[in-house]
Amino acid sequence: MEALDRLRAEAAAVLESAADAGAIEKARVNFLGVKSGQLKELQKLLSGLSPDDRPAGGKRFNDAKAEIVASFALAQDRVASSQQSGVPNVEAIDVTLPGDPVRMGHLHPITQTIRRVQEIMARLGFESVDGPEVEDQWHNFDALAIGAEHPARDPLDNFYLAVARGSDPLLLRSQTSTVQIRVMERREPPLRIVSLGRVYRPDTADATHYPMFHQVEGLLVEPGVTLAHLKSVLRFFASSFLGGDVRVRFRPSFFPFTEPSVEVDMEWGGRWIEMGGAGMVDPAVLEAVGYDPDKVSGFAFGLGVERIAARRYGVADIRDFYRNDVRFLEQF
Ligand code: PHE
């Protein structure tokens, strides 16, 4: 039965070196083939053994066969897995190559401006507060002493919202001065707040107008506040925001809720730019929210965020802020 051992060894060697499925199949036919495989030939010899030797011979034969079958399975696995790993090998990841740069986004220039204004005003103790963009007429007009016949209420100058007949229409706020009222109604003086947010007016869009824009509202109410305090705060703000020594100029103006009222101009780079309106809070407004105008006074101001952002970044057309063109936005 040495022939069996030799066959075992030969089969193992051939199958181990079989490089592909074709070679394995050839080996299978050669060793395990049902018709004329070498194992089959040896099986025939078993019948020539004496009855005493036959059980041992049968066992050796079965062992040899099992081993060849096992080598066969092993070879099949090996070839199959090398074929599989052949696929990723072709497209293998080269960990030494430089990576693809991750494109980082950043905050919109208007958002950056808002955060910067908040940060500067916080240094003077002004707390940042929010108010609703859908407002009632009390907060947008009445409490600000804007009378029933005032042109600022004109339906052509506001986005009124349709409501049930008989009730006062709500509107998209046309100014952030609404927040002055909302805060004073809730809190007692002293107060130092800023509120930055969207306001809406049905203006035709051009380089300096847009139906939606942003305002900074500032309000300070304490005993003994004067216009000089207002000017100091605005000057500090302008110099911090634009950099350098920015001059601030007041021109007489009128707002129903401030008395006296001024237009605020800032000089920067040799040019005076109108930045918004301001004034001393009208005693009638203080009374409307339950404050005593004999005990406290206050100033308020409202500046255009797009204006100060355009000034700072040198943007000529505020519509660029809203076009969402990445080539524009990624410059900030
Ligand atoms: N709310 C005014 C406007 O939108 C600006 C303003 C704010 C004026 C605060 C005075 C005081 O035009």
Q: How far, in Å, is the centroid of ligand 1 from the Cα of 277?
A: 5
Q: What is the pLDDT of residue 244?
A: 87
The yes-or-no verdict on residue 154 having pLDDT over 80 is: yes
Say yes or no: 57 and 120 in one domain: no
Q: How far, in Å, is the centroid of ligand 1 from the Cα of 263?
A: 9
| Backbone phi and psi for residue 14, each to the nearest 5 degrees, phi listed first | -60, -45
Say yes or no: 142 and 290 in one domain: yes
The atom of ligand 1 lying closest to the CA of 144 is 1
Q: Is residue 100 part of a domain?
A: no
Residues in the chain: 332
Structural domain total, the chain: 2
Q: What is the pLDDT of residue 2?
A: 78
At 126, is the secondary structure helix, strand, or coil? Answer: coil
Q: What contacts 117, CB < 8 A, 6 or more positions away?
A: 194, 196, 216, 237, 241, 305, 308
Q: What is the pLDDT of residue 204?
A: 96
Q: For ligand 1, pick from 175, 203, 213 the residue to mutate: most ligand atoms within 8 Å of CB.
A: 175
The yes-or-no verdict on residue 85 having pLDDT over 80 is: no
Q: How far, in Å, is the centroid of ligand 1 from the Cα of 107?
A: 27
Q: Is residue 265 part of a domain?
A: yes
C-alpha torsion angle, residues 247, 253, 258, 264 (rounded to 10): -20
Which secondary structure element, helix H or strand E, spans residue 297, and what is its range? strand 297-304
The atom of ligand 1 lying closest to the CA of 218 is 9
Mean pLDDT, rounded, of the chain: 91
Confidence of residue 82 (pLDDT cuts 50, 70, 90): confident
pLDDT top residue among 33 and 223: 223
pLDDT top residue among 180 and 53: 180
How many whole angstroms from its chain centre is CA 279? 38
Q: Could you list the residue range(s) of the whole structural domain that residue 286 is in?
A: 109-329
The atom of ligand 1 lying closest to the CA of 277 is 8
The yes-or-no verdict on residue 87 having pLDDT over 60 is: no
The yes-or-no verdict on residue 46 having pLDDT over 90 is: no
How many whole angstroms from its chain centre is CA 149? 44
Say yes or no: 53 and 133 in one domain: no
Percentage of residues of the chain with pLDDT beyond 70: 97
Q: Are 168 and 203 in contact (CB under 8 A)?
A: no
**Alpha-helical segments (H) within 91-226:** 109-123, 137-140, 177-186
Q: Are 22 and 30 in contact (CB under 8 A)?
A: no
